[in-house]
Amino acid sequence: MKILVPVKRVVDYNVKVRVKSDKTGVELANVKMSMNPFDEIAIEEAVRLKEAGVATEVIAVSCGMPQCQETLRTAMAIGADRGILIETDVELQPLAVAKLLKALVDREQPQLVIAGKQAIDDDSNQTGQMLAALADMPQATFASKITVADGRAQVTREVDGGLETVSVALPAVITTDLRLNEPRYVTLPNIMKAKKKPLEVLKPADLGVDVMPRLKTLKVVEPAGRKAGIKVADAAALIAKLKTEAKVI
């Protein structure tokens, strides 16, 4: 069984992003970039399924600039067997990425696609669900536990109000939530090994996919700021403030 895992190169989660002064976006020059944390969890889960003998091959896919090759090398250092980069400098929106992945699903015929539930840059939370719809596959989003057996995946999902368990027939798309696993640390020998693994580069046109954006970003601004308030001395002073000044209790 093959598992396909899309991975996105995003601004590292520790970086405090700054909006550009011309309001066209956020500053990306000289900013540390990393693999989207949810995608790292997805790769880890796929590699664990391979180590458990459930999967035979893990393929990492990234879409975007040539630098996404670094993200694919990280995925291969975690344990993916090979990488595919769909290279373009067009701004890719979730629908376009889902179409690119659908084309790859047709070519590679994976039984499982494990994707991060959202990317921490655009916070869209769409690509996995869109891919499932385009490929006519069932989906299990926001997964915190995955068991694969007898041609189905049983997935516990984190939903508002608690947990829900669904069983989906393979092939299926699963998106990961934070509690699914803790990704391993990448070791130096594995980084060296990853450099020798195959990495294929394609263009969207090779897959016959139109990736033109459907949403125009008119501007990007800083959110309205919040000023720091005051420190109060003790519980009594706090309650007094909340009652008489803020009037919220």
Partner 1 sequence: MAALVLAEHEGASVRAATLNTVSAAAKAGGEVHVLIVGHNVGDAAQQAAKIGGVSKVLVADAAQFADGLAEAVAAQVLAVANGYSHVFAAATSYGKNILPRVAAKLDVAQISDISSVESADTFTRPIYAGNAIATVQSIDAIKVVTARPTNFDPAPSEGGTATVESVQAVAAGDTSRFVSRDVVKLDRPELQGAKIVVSGGRGIGSADNFKLLEPLADKLNAAIGASRAAVDAGYAPNDWQVGQTGKVVAPQLYIAVGISGAIQHLAGMKDSKVIVAINKDAEAPIFQIADYGLVGDLFQIVPEIVKELG
Per CB under 8 A, contacts with partner 1 among 137-166 are 137-142, 144, 154, 157-166
Token duo for residue 139: 């989906």
Q: How far apart, in Å, are the Cα atoms of 145 and each of 117, 178, 193?
A: 14, 10, 29
Considering the complex, state which of residue 89 and residue 160 has its C-beta at the smaller distance from partner 1: 160
Q: Which of residues 164-223 bind partner 1 (CB under 8 A)?
A: 164-169, 172, 177-179, 213-223
Considering the complex, state which of residue 57 and residue 158 has its C-beta at the smaller distance from partner 1: 158
Residue 86 CB, nearest distance to partner 1 (Å)?
Answer: 18
Question: Considering only 48-56, 67-75, 107-115, 229-237, which stretch makes contact with partner 1 by CB under 8 A?
Answer: 229-237
- What DSSP element (H or E) covers 38? helix 37-51
Site string for partner 1, 53-72 (x = CB under 8 A): --------------------
Tell me the pairing of strands 9-11 and 199-202.
unpaired
94 binds partner 1 per the rule CB under 8 A: yes
Phi and psi of 169, rounded to 5°? -75, 140
CA distance 75 to 191: 10
Residue 63 CB, nearest distance to partner 1 (Å)?
Answer: 16
Contacts of 62 (CB under 8 A, 6+ apart): 6, 7, 8, 9, 68, 69, 71, 72, 75, 83, 84, 85, 86
CA distance 40 to 34: 10
Give the binding-site size for partner 1 (rule: CB under 8 A).
80
Considering the complex, state which of residue 41 and residue 84 has its C-beta at the smaller distance from partner 1: 41
Residue 54 CB, nearest distance to partner 1 (Å)?
Answer: 19
3-state secondary structure of 45: helix
106 binds partner 1 per the rule CB under 8 A: no
Q: Which of residues 112-131 bind partner 1 (CB under 8 A)?
A: 117-118, 120-131
Q: What is the CA radius of gyration of the chain?
A: 21
Considering the complex, state which of residue 54 and residue 142 has its C-beta at the smaller distance from partner 1: 142
234 binds partner 1 per the rule CB under 8 A: yes
Q: Is 17 exposed, middle or buried (0-12, 13-18, 19+ CB in 10 A)?
A: middle
CA distance 24 to 131: 29
Residue 144 CB, nearest distance to partner 1 (Å)?
Answer: 7
| Residue type (1 letter), 243 | K
Considering the complex, state which of residue 57 and residue 138 has its C-beta at the smaller distance from partner 1: 138
Residue 46 CB, nearest distance to partner 1 (Å)?
Answer: 20
Q: Residues 31, 191, 205, 239: which binds partner 1 (CB under 8 A)?
A: 239
Considering the complex, state which of residue 66 and residue 151 has its C-beta at the smaller distance from partner 1: 151
